[in-house]
Amino acid sequence: MSKKSGMFYAPKGKPDRVCKDGDFVFAAMHLDHGHIYGMSNGLIEAGAQLKWVYDPHPQRVKAFCEQFPQVKVARSEDEVLSDKSVHMVAGAAVTSERCALGLRVMKAGKDYFTDKAPLTTLEQLEQAKAMVKETGKKYAVYYSERLHVESAVFAGQLIEDGVIGRVLQVIGMGPHRLGTGRPDWFFEREKFGGILCDIGSHQIEQFMYYTGAKDAKVQLSRIANYHNKQHATFEDFGDASLVADNGATGYFRVDWFTPDGLDTWGDGRLFILGTEGTIEMRKYIDVGREPDGDQVYLVTGDKASHIPVKGKVGYPYFGQLILDCLNRTENAMTQEHAFKAAELCVRAQMEAIRIE
């Protein structure tokens, strides 16, 4: 997969198997977004067995099978959902259709793992919550910019260890490259949910996680379509400011203006202010210095450090998720957290001021 395209973000880490072959079986369905490759690879590295793939478009199935030749091609969605050996379904459907897919998956007695954003409306959120309550199944979300980035994982470990004290503020920058070959639905707001709901979901989830917040209020949010007027309902810029229930504040900016000269899909950065130190993450590249991402800059009362963590931390979320499904625990991410991040990104989108 090309580093130029965030559509097919599929990092590979250090395999850390938490179960034996056959202990945890999953299927991949509705491959509308390339994040399904990262989701599948992360589960496989943690010991999951990929059994089925289903998508109504043969070309997408063919490409997926080339990447994962061990997988069987299902003739229908029902063939997957009726297979009692399947524990989980991973899906990357059109954003507005992700909730409906999750409802079908959970109704069939399986846990659901969806690409972000996990839903696009508050009505869908209530439907998902009700189905989780009815079935006891999980509605897990691939917030990849924290879960599948080693510098982001490492920052969480530093915060958990108290290295920078209480977190007071998180500032995120999430530029992306628009590129070419995006599907039509990607430019239709009703389907992709809006920029703050879509790629803004990464930023809001990180803010909630690093601050340890249970809830937050959107103070201000803005959206614009500055440079893609041929797509009337598309948005290529958005930002938002939030205040958490514990007093921490957050600001983020997301956009589709990564210059062609950058050798990756976006110069994602995160700045975390604590009472006893600061953390900066240069996630995907260190511009003008290092081609590799996962560069962490840590300043405490004792010293300032540059810590490259690529290939050293791994991605523990996937193993934790598998064990959570097998043991019915909540160590990878609580359902409350996954849903609250989803709610806030929808509210930020709904309340946004549109800049004309």
Question: Nearest 5 degrees, angle CA 54-CA 5-CA 211?
Answer: 90
pLDDT of 9 reads: 67
pLDDT of 16 reads: 84
User: Region 315-330: what's the mean pLDDT?
Assistant: 98
Q: For residues 16 and 159, which has the higher predicted lDDT (pLDDT)? A: 159
Q: How confident is residue 248, by pLDDT bands cut at 50, 70 and 90?
A: very high
pTM recorded for the entire structure: 0.95
Give the tens place of pLDDT for each residue, 283-299. Answer: 999 998 989 999 999 99
CATH 3.30.360.10 residue window(s) in the chain: 146-313+346-355
Give the tens place of pLDDT for each residue, 185-206. Answer: 999 999 999 999 999 999 999 9
Distant-in-sequence, close-in-space partners of 56: CB < 8 Å, separation ≥ 6? none
* CATH 3.30.360.10 given to domain 146-313+346-355: yes
For residue 68, give the nearest of 88, 93, 85, 48 by alpha carbon.
48
Q: How confident is residue 7, by pLDDT bands cut at 50, 70 and 90?
A: low
Q: Is 338 exposed, middle or buried (0-12, 13-18, 19+ CB in 10 A)?
A: buried
- The backbone torsions φ and ψ at residue 284, rounded to the nearest 5 degrees and listed phi first, read -115, -15
With a pLDDT cut of 70, the percent of the chain lying above it is 97
Average pLDDT over the chain reads 96
Given a contact cutoff of 8 angstroms between Cβ atoms, the answer to whether 285 and 264 are in contact is yes
Give the tens place of pLDDT for each residue, 22-73. Answer: 999 999 999 999 999 999 999 999 999 999 999 999 999 999 999 999 999 9
pLDDT of 179 reads: 87
Third-level CATH fold of 6-143+316-333: Rossmann fold (3.40.50)
pLDDT of 1 reads: 39
Low-confidence winner among 7-21, 23-37, 52-66, 309-323 (lowest mean pLDDT): 7-21
CATH 3.40.50.720 residue window(s) in the chain: 6-143+316-333
Give the tens place of pLDDT for each residue, 67-113. Answer: 999 999 999 999 999 999 999 999 999 999 999 999 999 999 999 99
Distant-in-sequence, close-in-space partners of 229: CB < 8 Å, separation ≥ 6? none
User: Region 142-155: what's the mean pLDDT?
Assistant: 98
Is 5 a residue whose pLDDT tops 80? no
User: Region 248-265: what's the mean pLDDT?
Assistant: 97
Euclidean distance between CA atoms 191 and 201, whole angstroms: 15
